[in-house]
Structure 1
Amino acid sequence: MPLPRFDRLPPERRELILGVARRHFAEHGTEGASYNKIIEAVGVSKTAAYHYFDGREDLLAVVLDGVFERLLGALGPWVPARDEADFRSRFAAGSAALAAHLRDHPEDLALADAAIGRTDGGRWLDWFGALVTDGQRLGVIRTDVDHGLLVSVTAAVVRAADAWALARMTTESLAEAADLPEDEAWAQLWSLLHGLWGGAVGAPAAGAGEDPTDAR
């Protein structure tokens, strides 16, 4: 946690310091970023910096906590769905919002795994836990597999799918990236989860008019 003097700084000054630190950690890694270079880039003396943070690890923790809160904010709270179609819609919206946030905030993307890992699952898995519990209530998700295992694997699949989609956007030509609509990425994610969850769910929204058994 930052020291009291940091909290007393004007909000724009606090954000400047954290923004510079976030950029350094994103560019050089959580292990490789230099505390001295961060301090220099911010324009404060080492003495002043130690009035704000106990040291490098303290600053890193604050940066990662900020990343984590933005990731959760992008997902939004899981609200129990009315039925299977509403479940698909809510999950698609949350997944799309998270992917969009990571696409638009590359520093958060670079630090996302470290931020999530710092919480040991915690509130991140709580979100997916609420999703799985709701899906089981609706008969969308199987109940013959341990709940915690389903939650962990679902979270991992969503994170991997986000990384895959964003990697394709950055490595392919602009024309090819434009030809990868969100519906396609969503369909592939849903297909993976369909199998994971036991095949109880139908096709994704893009194929709503198809027979659910066609997706098997």
Structure 2
Amino acid sequence: MTPLPRFHRLTAERQEAILAVARAHFAEHGPASASYNKIIEAAGFSKTAAYQYFDGREDLLAAVLGDVLDRLLGVLGPWTPAPDEAGFWARLEAGSHALVAHLHAHPDDLALADAAVGRARDGAWPGWFEAVVADGQRLGFIRTDVDRALLAGATAAVMRAADEWALTALRAAEPQTPESDQVWSLLRGLWGGAAAGGGGRAH
């Protein structure tokens, strides 16, 4: 589902304002519980006008979650082939830190991240992790004896858990960034295998 054509004819600022209001409501009350009527009232238009832009509540939710996913992918940027293993790890670490910083600064995105990712099983989000895995396989340190899509999904799950772990530390009374080496150790264990070149972070 996508917004109706009339929504896309609004100015970019107006589109973002509507999505921001809806994002805040869905984040606060949950995708299943947020009131469509309250959202459109807060966005400044009537229910009749709302149906000029969205087919209904699910259409609006899909637009919000799609926007959240785009924001997360925008933070990560496209994965580009690394020159070597050290460059690979540096790129992955930089992306992870940038995503954690974004989620810390944008709690609405954090609240909706899992729902947004859950609707992107065959899209750009799993594609980003498949590109990561493919690059590591090209460089010879990620196993090739496991289906790439399965390995990419497991990698995404580890990275999502790592993001939540880091954010929990940042929310502590005396925030301290946790040691990322623990995350890379998990990935080395996931990615290693007889078919890989030994696997391990380059220093």
Provide the TM-score with structure 1 as the length reference.
Answer: 0.86
Residue 145 (structure 1) shift? 2.3
In structure 2, the partner of 1:192 is: 186
In the aligned structure 1, how far is the partner of 2:160 from the partner of 2:153?
A: 11
Q: Which of 178, 198, 201 is equivalent to 2:199?
A: 201
The residue that corresponds to 1:149 in the other structure is 150
Q: Quote the residue 2:112 is aligned against.
A: 111
Which string of whole-angstrom CA distances, capped at 9 and with x for unpartnered residues, describes residues 53-79 of structure 1?
Answer: 111111111111100111111111111
3-state SS of paired residue (2:52): helix
Which is helix-richer, 1 or 2? 1
Aligned to 2:54: 53
C-alpha deviation, 1:9, in angstroms: 2.1
How far the C-alpha of 1:38 sits from its partner, in A, is 0.5
Percent identity of equivalent pairs: 65
- Give the drift of 1:202: 3.2
Shift of 1:81: 1.0
Structure of higher CA gyration radius: 1
TM-fit CA distance, 1:40 = 1.5
Q: What CA deviation, in whole Å up to 9, does each residue of 1:69-101 have, x standing for no partner?
A: 111111111111111111111111111111111
Question: Which residue type is aligned with residue 191 of structure 1?
Answer: S
Q: Does 1:82 align with 2:83?
A: yes
Cα contact 2:25–2:39 (8 A) shared by 1: yes
Task: Say whether the 8 Å CA contact 2:7–2:15 is kept in structure 1.
Answer: yes
Matched residue type, 1:99: V
**Where do 1:118-157 residues align within 5 Å?**
118-157=119-158
- The letter of the residue matching 1:181 is T
Structure ranking higher on relative contact order (CA contacts 8 Å, 6+ apart):
2
Structure 1 residue 181 corresponds to structure 2 residue 181: no
CA distances 1:7-47 after superposition (whole Å, capped 9, x unpaired)? 22232222211111000000000000000111111221111
Q: Which runs of 4+ in 1 moved over 6 A?
A: none
**SS of 1:94 mapped into structure 2:** helix
Q: What's the CA shift for 1:203?
A: 4.2
> What's the Cα RMSD here?
1.6
Q: How many residues align?
A: 198
Does structure 1 retain, via aligned residues, the 8 Å contact 2:143–2:191?
yes
